[in-house]
């Protein structure tokens, strides 16, 4: 039996253990950082290996969450739209969820084999080895942006040629008798003074000094493009169901065992009927009377919405009236005669337009096509179109804005329209101390994932300058960076159909036998036959590697321009360059797929797919047709967004292709109008701080609410090229909400470990 | 002759097992009760438990699952999935206790989960206008979109059908048994130790809504527990109608190795293995704390001379009262729970819900003892809640229980 002493000892021990463990076990977990600073030294393979080793789990996480569990499944849905036009992607090896992976890998492999310098190949291999991952995954991680943007552009193009569109806009009333040149064409009060036909997107106002008591007439049309090789059975009868009534299919497509049934599911159909990707079936199996409404070719009047300075007027509003206009000539086949034709929309706001005002009008409309896949169910909607105009008295009140080109198409704040990436650079008289600054807020794709994998890489190679760039785990590049000489770059995407993927399609189409087929069948079936063997391959240097090359091979803006000029481009991209001497330059590029000789002149030249400019107003190359700098307010500032300022006609005219003609950026890019707005708002902010911009001032400009994408913000930075300091903010969304952390590049290089 | 807990009495001398077992103390499992030597007690309890909220790090009640914000790749916010899941457990707890000595008892607990049901109760908050469909995503739109990528909408999960939980084996030593001075003051003290036998099942990693049956999943007690208890009975002062008990304890958890999900059933939500690793460890935070229990006797009832007492009414008088009620308050301090996988951010995503905290548990129990009436059984009902007093970083569960205790003496 225990003694009293031993019992007391046991009690004391228990109490001690309890107290001790309670104290020791009390420390709470803390959130690990979303940002890492990684220093890489040695030859390319060594640096890659260090990269992979240090960030293995982060690389796996980024690949799995962003690609395997988000982007790839998302892109897989587009296979249904792509395969009927590019039949190779309907083959068995691309089915069962393999489409996006294989497409990204094949395109990445093509870039790797044909364009990627050996040093980067070694670096990628090093990452894969260091992280213990498959090389293909690292390759896709480093090339998917280039491929995906081009692919996205093609998807939008295919959708766009089937979407409704605005064909004309006209202001009714006394514009042809108000003694004003309302449309800025140099003529006053001519017939059709207030008519924009054909409609085209503008960077400036469509009209000025519009009478306040007028109506605006908008004509919206839809396109019916028949000939899809594969159709969704839900468009047949019974509508919305996966099974099909027996009477809707030809006998040759039904298995004999099922021919007595009245309702058929997929298992009852022949291989030929099922040759399309599930759930679609071969259109050749359908009888016409069950398919007449696959694509009615009709605008949906009920979907029309007009937004005037943020106020919404939908089809139920008294201010909006719609009317179907008669069609000239015969109706195309497979359209609904009850609704096919241009839709006229007459809009007159209650009380008329606000006098002496700058007004913004956004037009939204959809069609009546039942789209069951990709889900969710929807009709086709056109891109929001925006025009701005001034009402009578505005020019007098402002003392300017007599001509449309003087009024920017800025629009008004719309919480659903997220600002795109933007960057600006200032120097000299624009800044507080004369030192150059380059600032960027990059926003594209976060999905609540990417910001957790942010990295500032410092490369100290065996040869060449050391440099740093903002990036993410597993990537060998970033959208902005600076080298130890102070040469700094920032890159923004700028949508363009003049990209290698489209180029490959066009190359196929222009082969004589393919072109003949398309002329014979100017529909989607003809297009798919012309593209029977076409793959989507990106060509050129992956964009981030161009950034690396800029830093690795030069000290000044001129060398940066040279590097960009010589590199093949994978998409449309805008560059902003700055150096320690205060030189600034903007470069707008695309793949110039129709002009392979681009990039071969002895010196960088203004060519198709390559435009550059600086704030220097002494050079006419830096001025638009009105004598204004392309993207500057004065001699010491420059800015870029996600659209082309100078290279606005990025796509050559290819009228031969009829409805399949790829258009220039401004006609189709979903980023276009919001980039325009961001561009002008950014200009306003720079203007209001002109002469006083320092690092804090630049950060303040980046934080302007109208310029911040709160959904897909990825990183923000202010570079000081003269001082070799990078002020970075990343790891949260939006990045601009964070404190900008200074990183002294020179000190970090000397310290060799990323800790200056 | 009756044996009272506070009077040492060789079991074989007592005329009836139940007198030995339960004499003179209010019924109910007190902190210091032991069985007489060579006596068994079979205790069967049915527990219905439900959980629909947690006490978060700020001490506020919150749903079990944080809202999940969903984004269209490059397309802004689709919306927010709000979940208010409710988890229901139906459990049978089989307990068998044996008196090794009058002051030393051995116990074995075998909990069996009859069924667990988790209902997700999903709702949706719309996000940004989506140009490509001409509207913001509705809830149906979102799940249609997700289904097109192989991700089904989570539904009610029912599992753990007839599944064993972790068994518990325990020892209690009432060391005041041989301290007459203490007993004379109505004071009883005991040391208890419990150990877990890992027979429970972990949650299926491929299921979004599943819960396991281990002690960690149930979060009821540690793998190894030590309790030091003391009780005061007011036998003389209040004719045994009141007793107060105090218990301090420390319960430790061992590290577990679990398997990560591959996304087989939920490819978009549970595809973790590539970056978490095939296996990961969880070291649950240890428990420590104190409990206070007050037991009262509102109705003692008649004492009948029956076969149980071999016809002795006097012996029956020593049996537990017919009705007793108890209230227990437990403060349980929770240490940080650690996740250890290949990816520290994933670890944090779990650890943030299991930072140091505490539970404030109230238990209410009503016991109906039929021994005085000649029936060898005690029926009890209980209610336990973490909802009345705020906690921190713990689940706010509620339980209803009913049970039956039957004393046995085989030899």
Distance, in Å, from the CA atom of A123 to the CA atom of A542, rounded to the nearest integer, reads 14
Q: Tell me the shortest Cα–Cα distance from A64 to chain B, in angstroms.
A: 7
Give the three-state DSSP class for A297.
Answer: coil
Q: Give per-residue pLDDT as tens, A217-232.
A: 999 999 777 667 788 8
Give the three-state DSSP class for B109.
Answer: strand
Please measure the distance between the N-terminal and C-terminal CA atoms of chain A and give it in whole angstroms. 67
Cβ of residue B222 closer than 8 Å to a chain A Cβ:
no
Pick B185 or B26 by higher pLDDT: B185
- Give the pLDDT band (50/70/90) at residue A14: low
Distance, in Å, from the CA atom of A621 to the CA atom of A624, rounded to the nearest integer, reads 8
Tell me what pLDDT residue B21 has: 40
Give the three-state DSSP class for A386.
Answer: strand
pLDDT at A26 over 70: no
CB contact under 8 Å between B175 and A7, yes or no, is yes
Q: Give per-residue pLDDT as tens, B257-285.
A: 999 999 999 998 899 999 999 999 999 99
pLDDT at A34 over 90: yes
Tell me what pLDDT residue B23 has: 39
Pick B369 or B235 by higher pLDDT: B369
pLDDT at B1 over 80: no
Cβ of residue B356 closer than 8 Å to a chain A Cβ:
yes
- Give the pLDDT band (50/70/90) at residue B317: confident
Chain A positions in Cβ-Cβ contact with residue B266 (cut-off 8 Å): none
- Measured between CA atoms, the residue of chain B closest to residue A133 is B274
Tell me what pLDDT residue B316 has: 86
Tell me what pLDDT residue B28 has: 35
Give the three-state DSSP class for B185.
Answer: coil
CB B151, CB B269: distance < 8 Å:
yes
pLDDT at B15 over 50: no
Q: How much of chain A exceeds pLDDT 70, in percent?
A: 95
Residue A437's beta-bridge partner residues? A426
Tell me what pLDDT residue A743 has: 97
How big is chain A by its Cα radius of gyration, in Å?
29
**Strand (E) or helix (H) holding A743:** strand A741-744
Residues 48 through 87 of chain B touching chain A, CB cutoff 8 Å: 69, 71-74, 76-77
Tell me what pLDDT residue A20 has: 54
Q: Give the torsion sign (CA, A565, A569, A572, A577).
A: negative
pLDDT at B238 over 80: yes
DSSP state at residue B128: S
How many CA atoms, within 13 angstroms, populate the side-chain half-sphere of residue A715? 30
The interface pTM score, or ipTM, of the predicted complex is 0.88
Tell me what pLDDT residue B182 has: 86
CB contact under 8 Å between B134 and A378, yes or no, is yes
Distance, in Å, from the CA atom of B59 to the CA atom of B54, rounded to the nearest integer, reads 9
Tokens for A696, please give them: 């804090």
CB contact under 8 Å between B150 and A374, yes or no, is no
Q: Is the peptide bond before A279 cis (omega within 30 degrees of 0)?
A: yes
**Strand (E) or helix (H) holding B229:** strand B224-233
**Strand (E) or helix (H) holding B173:** strand B167-173
Distance, in Å, from the CA atom of A615 to the CA atom of A612, rounded to the nearest integer, reads 11
Tell me what pLDDT residue A648 has: 94
Listed residue (A717, A681, A713) closest to A699, CA to CA: A717
Tell me what pLDDT residue B4 has: 32
Q: Is the peptide bond before A238 cis (omega within 30 degrees of 0)?
A: yes
Burial per residue of A648-658, b for 16 or more beta-carbon CB atoms within 10 angstroms, e otherwise: eebbeebeebe
Q: Give per-residue pLDDT as tens, A326-355.
A: 888 888 777 788 888 999 999 999 999 999
Listed residue (B56, B355, B59, B359) closest to A28, CA to CA: B355
- Give the pLDDT band (50/70/90) at residue B3: very low
Tokens for A3, please give them: 């003694």
Q: What is the mean pLDDT of chain A?
A: 91
Tell me what pLDDT residue A231 has: 83
CB contact under 8 Å between A26 and B335, yes or no, is yes
Tell me what pLDDT residue B410 has: 63
**What average pLDDT score do residues A348-370 get?**
94
Tell me what pLDDT residue A427 has: 98
- Give the pLDDT band (50/70/90) at residue A600: confident
**What average pLDDT score do residues B214-240 get?**
91
- Give the pLDDT band (50/70/90) at residue A9: low
**What average pLDDT score do residues B36-44 get?**
92
pLDDT at B247 over 90: yes
Cβ of residue B121 closer than 8 Å to a chain A Cβ:
no
Distance, in Å, from the CA atom of B37 to the CA atom of A649, rounded to the nearest integer, reads 98
Angle at A477 between CA A133 and CA A580, to 5 degrees: 155
Residue A574's beta-bridge partner residues? A492, A588
The reported pTM is 0.91
Burial class of residue B188 (count of CB atoms within 10 Å of its CB; 0-12, 13-18, 19+):
buried
- Give the pLDDT band (50/70/90) at residue A292: low
Place of tokens 């400036």: A204
Distance, in Å, from the CA atom of B369 to the CA atom of B354, rounded to the nearest integer, reads 40
Chain A positions in Cβ-Cβ contact with residue B254 (cut-off 8 Å): none
Q: Give per-residue pLDDT as tens, A453-482.
A: 999 999 999 889 999 999 999 999 999 999
Lowest model confidence (mean pLDDT) among A335-349, A552-566, B161-175 = A335-349
Residue A321's beta-bridge partner residues? A346
Which residues touch A467 (CB under 8 Å, ≥6 apart)? Answer: A458, A459, A481, A482, A483, A484, A548, A551, A552
Q: Give per-residue pLDDT as tens, A519-536.
A: 887 777 788 888 888 898
Tell me what pLDDT residue A54 has: 97
Chain A positions in Cβ-Cβ contact with residue B76 (cut-off 8 Å): 416, 418, 711-712
Distance, in Å, from the CA atom of A394 to the CA atom of A399, rounded to the nearest integer, reads 8
Q: Chains A, B: CB contacts under 8 A, how many? A: 151
**What average pLDDT score do residues B29-44 get?**
88
Mutation site, A6, A28, A160, A381, interface B, largest B CB count within 10 A: A28
Give the three-state DSSP class for A666.
Answer: helix
Q: Give per-residue pLDDT as tens, A168-192.
A: 999 987 888 888 888 888 888 888 8
Place of tokens 């000892």: A9
Tell me what pLDDT residue A17 has: 53
Which residues touch B179 (CB under 8 Å, ≥6 apart)? Answer: none
Burial per residue of B325-355, b for 16 or more beta-carbon CB atoms within 10 angstroms, e otherwise: bbebebebbbbbbbbebbbbbbbeeebbbbb
Q: Tell me the shortest Cα–Cα distance from A384 to chain B, in angstroms.
A: 8
Tell me what pLDDT residue A278 has: 81
CB contact under 8 Å between A17 and B74, yes or no, is no
Lowest model confidence (mean pLDDT) among A77-86, A196-205, A472-481, A667-676 = A77-86
CB contact under 8 Å between B345 and A452, yes or no, is yes
Q: Tell me the shortest Cα–Cα distance from B316 to chain A, in angstroms.
A: 33
Q: Tell me the shortest Cα–Cα distance from B253 to chain A, in angstroms.
A: 12
Distance, in Å, from the CA atom of A549 to the CA atom of A119, rounded to the nearest integer, reads 11
**Strand (E) or helix (H) holding A512:** helix A512-520
């Amino acid at each position: 039996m225990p003694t009293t002493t031993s019992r007391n000892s046991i009690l004391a021990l228990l109490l001690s253990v309890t107290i001790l463990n309670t104290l020791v076990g009390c420390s709470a977990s803390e959130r690990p950082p979303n940002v890492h600073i990684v220093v890489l030294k040695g030859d390319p393979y060594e640096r890659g290996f260090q990269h992979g080793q240090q960030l293995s789990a982060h690389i796996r996480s980024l690949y799995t969450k962003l690609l395997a569990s988000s982007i790839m499944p998302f892109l897989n849905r587009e296979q249904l739209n792509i395969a009927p036009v590019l039949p190779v992607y309907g083959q068995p090896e691309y089915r069962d969820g393999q489409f996006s992976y294989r497409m990204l890998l094949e395109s990445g492999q093509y870039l790797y084999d044909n364009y990627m310098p050996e040093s980067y190949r070694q670096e990628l291999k090093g990452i894969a080895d260091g992280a213990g991952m498959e090389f293909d995954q690292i390759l896709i991680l480093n090339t998917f942006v280039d491929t995906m943007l081009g692919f996205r552009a093609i998807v939008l193009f295919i959708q766009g040629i089937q979407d409704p569109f605005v064909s004309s806009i006209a202001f009714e009333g006394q514009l042809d008798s108000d003694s004003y040149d309302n449309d800025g064409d140099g003529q006053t009060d001519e017939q059709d003074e207030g008519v924009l036909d054909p409609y085209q997107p503008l960077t400036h106002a469509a009209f000025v000094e519009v009478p306040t008591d007028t109506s605006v007439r908008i004509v919206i049309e839809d396109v019916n493009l028949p000939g899809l090789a594969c159709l969704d059975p839900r468009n047949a009868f019974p509508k919305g169901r996966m099974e099909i009534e027996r009477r809707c299919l030809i006998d040759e497509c039904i298995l004999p065992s099922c021919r007595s049934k009245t309702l058929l599911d997929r298992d009852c159909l022949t291989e030929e009927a099922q040759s399309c990707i599930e759930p679609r079936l071969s259109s050749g199996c359908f009888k016409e009377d069950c398919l007449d409404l696959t694509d009615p070719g009709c605008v949906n009047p009920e979907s029309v919405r007009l937004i005037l300075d943020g106020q919404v007027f939908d089809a139920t509003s008294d201010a909006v009236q719609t009317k179907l206009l008669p069609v000239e000539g015969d109706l195309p086949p497979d359209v609904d005669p009850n609704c096919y034709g241009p839709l006229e929309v007459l809009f007159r706001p209650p009380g008329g337009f606000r006098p002496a005002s700058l007004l913004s009008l956004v037009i939204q409309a959809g069609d009546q096509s039942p789209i069951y896949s990709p889900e969710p169910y929807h009709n086709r909607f056109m891109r929001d179109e925006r025009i701005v105009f001034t009402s009578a008295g505005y020019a007098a009140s402002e003392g300017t804005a007599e001509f449309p080109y003087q009024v920017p198409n800025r629009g008004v704040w719309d919480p659903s329209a997220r600002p795109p990436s933007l960057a600006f650079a200032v120097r000299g008289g624009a800044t507080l101390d004369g030192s150059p600054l380059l600032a960027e807020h990059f926003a594209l794709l976060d999905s609540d994932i990417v910001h957790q994998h942010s990295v500032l890489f410092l490369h100290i190679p065996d040869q060449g300058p050391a440099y740093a760039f903002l990036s993410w785990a597993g990537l060998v590049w970033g959208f902005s960076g600076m080298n130890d000489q102070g040469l700094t770059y920032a890159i923004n995407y700028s949508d363009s159909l003049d990209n290698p993927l489209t180029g490959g399609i066009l190359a196929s189409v222009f082969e004589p036998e393919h072109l003949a087929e398309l002329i014979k069948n100017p529909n989607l079936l003809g297009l798919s036959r012309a593209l029977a063997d076409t793959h989507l391959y990106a060509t050129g240097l992956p964009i981030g590697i161009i950034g690396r090359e800029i830093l690795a091979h030069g000290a000044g803006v001129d060398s940066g321009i040279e590097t960009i000029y010589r590199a093949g481009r994978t998409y449309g991209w805008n560059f902003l360059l700055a150096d320690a001497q205060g030189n600034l330059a903007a470069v707008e590029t695309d793949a110039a797929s129709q002009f392979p000789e681009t990039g071969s002149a002895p010196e960088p030249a203004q060519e198709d797919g390559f435009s550059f400019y600086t704030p220097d107003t002494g050079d006419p190359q830096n001025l638009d047709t009105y004598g204004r700098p392309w993207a500057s307010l004065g001699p010491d500032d420059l800015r870029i967004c996600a659209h082309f300022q100078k290279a606005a006609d990025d796509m050559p005219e290819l009228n031969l292709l009829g409805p399949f003609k790829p258009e220039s950026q401004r006609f189709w890019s979903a980023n276009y109008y919001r980039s325009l707005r961001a561009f002008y708002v950014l200009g306003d902010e720079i203007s209001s701080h002109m002469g006083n911009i320092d690092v804090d001032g630049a950060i303040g400009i980046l934080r302007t609410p109208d310029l911040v994408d709160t959904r897909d913000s990825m990183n923000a930075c202010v570079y000081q090229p003269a001082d070799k300091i990078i002020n970075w903010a990343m790891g949260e969304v939006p990045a601009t909400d964070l404190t900008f952390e200074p990183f002294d590049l020179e000190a970090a290089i000397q310290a060799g470990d990323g800790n200056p | 002759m009756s044996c009272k807990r506070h009077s040492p009495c060789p079991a074989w001398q007592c005329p009836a097992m139940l007198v030995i077992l339960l004499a003179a103390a209010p019924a109910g499992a007190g902190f210091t009760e032991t069985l007489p030597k060579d006596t068994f007690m079979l205790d069967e309890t049915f527990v219905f438990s439900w959980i629909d909220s947690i006490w978060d790090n700020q001490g506020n009640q919150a749903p079990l699952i944080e809202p999940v914000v969903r984004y269209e790749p490059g397309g802004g916010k689709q919306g927010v999935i709000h979940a208010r899941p409710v988890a229901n457990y139906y459990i049978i707890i089989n307990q068998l206790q044996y008196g090794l000595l009058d002051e030393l008892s051995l116990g074995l607990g075998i909990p069996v989960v009859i069924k667990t049901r988790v209902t997700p109760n999903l709702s949706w908050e719309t996000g940004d206008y989506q140009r490509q469909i001409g509207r913001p995503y509705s809830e149906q739109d979102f799940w249609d979109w997700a289904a097109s990528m192989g991700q089904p909408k989570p539904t009610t999960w029912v599992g753990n059908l007839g599944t064993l939980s972790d068994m518990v084996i325990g020892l209690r030593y009432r060391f005041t048994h041989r301290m007459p001075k203490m007993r004379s003051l109505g004071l009883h003290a005991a040391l208890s130790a419990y150990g877990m036998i890992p027979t429970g099942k972990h949650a299926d990693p491929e299921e979004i809504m599943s819960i396991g049956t281990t002690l960690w999943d149930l979060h009821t007690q540690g793998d190894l527990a030590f309790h030091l208890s003391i009780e005061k009975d007011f036998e003389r002062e209040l004719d045994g109608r009141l007793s107060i008990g105090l218990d301090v304890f420390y319960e430790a958890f061992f590290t577990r190795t679990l398997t990560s999900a591959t996304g087989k059933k939920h490819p978009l939500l549970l595809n973790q293995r590539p970056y978490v690793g095939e296996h990961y460890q969880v070291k649950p935070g240890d428990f420590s704390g104190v409990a206070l229990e007050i037991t009262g006797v509102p109705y003692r009832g008649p004492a009948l001379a029956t076969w149980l007492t071999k016809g002795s009414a006097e012996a029956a008088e020593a049996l537990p009262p017919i009705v007793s009620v108890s209230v227990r308050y437990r403060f349980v301090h929770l240490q940080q729970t650690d996740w250890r996988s290949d990816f520290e951010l994933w670890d944090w995503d779990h650890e943030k819900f299991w930072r140091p905290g505490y539970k404030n548990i109230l238990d209410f129990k009503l016991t109906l003892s039929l021994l005085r009436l000649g029936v060898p059984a005690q029926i009890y009902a209980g209610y336990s809640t973490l909802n009345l007093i705020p906690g921190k970083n713990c689940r706010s569960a509620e339980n209803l229980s009913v049970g039956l205790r039957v004393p046995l003496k085989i030899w």
